[in-house]
Structure 1
Amino acid sequence: MIPKVSGGVGILAMILAAVMSGVLTDGDRQRANFHTETPEDRAEKTTYALRLIVFAIPNILGAIIMFLILN
């Protein structure tokens, strides 16, 4: 149960980080977003994505470790 919850939270945080940073868009959309955003907006978006990744990594690692211990 613990690995599933921790892993699920980690994966959800990684997906949210990818969506918020714009990684899942195609090149034309990225170019359009780059030219319509202010540098402050890009910095804020990057900050939130990095925070989510920093939150996700320990959850995923914890899920892997707990999975290995319990099995």
Structure 2
Amino acid sequence: MKKAFAAGCILAAAAFAAGFILPIRLDMIFGAVSAILIVLSIIMSGLAVSGEEQRANYHSETKEGRQARLKMAAAFFLAAIPSAVCLFIMIL
């Protein structure tokens, strides 16, 4: 999980550098990066499916597969935290 957070910090730094190169506002870049990573986290965790689909997924996947999927979702969420913090700093 430390690697995911470190990757998020590197991604936030790259977004910050891109804000000086591209003619786009910094808060839009940080917002887009945060939104993409959070949406990927939601998709990987399975929160975007209905209850019936969630139940079917729970009974059809192995415990190891579920743990790997949730670990990947947590990694995407942790990678989104630095960009989200930068977005909140930019807004304030």
Aligned residue in 2 for 1:22: 46
CA RMSD of aligned residues (A): 0.9
Q: Encode CA deviations 1:7-32: one digit per residue, 9 max, x unaligned.
A: 11011100110011100111100000
| TM-score, with structure 1 as normaliser | 0.89
Runs of 4+ in 1 over 2 A off after TM superposition: none
Q: Quick one: percent identity of the two aligned structures?
A: 34
Aligned residue in 2 for 1:48: 72
* Corresponding residue SS for 1:25: coil
Aligned residue in 2 for 1:7: 31
Q: How many positions carry a matched residue from both structures?
A: 68
Q: Distance in 1 between matches of 2:54 and 2:72?
A: 18
Structure 1 gap ranges (5+): none
Offset of 1:67 from its aligned partner? 2.8
Q: Equivalent of 2:56, from 5, 17, 32? A: 32
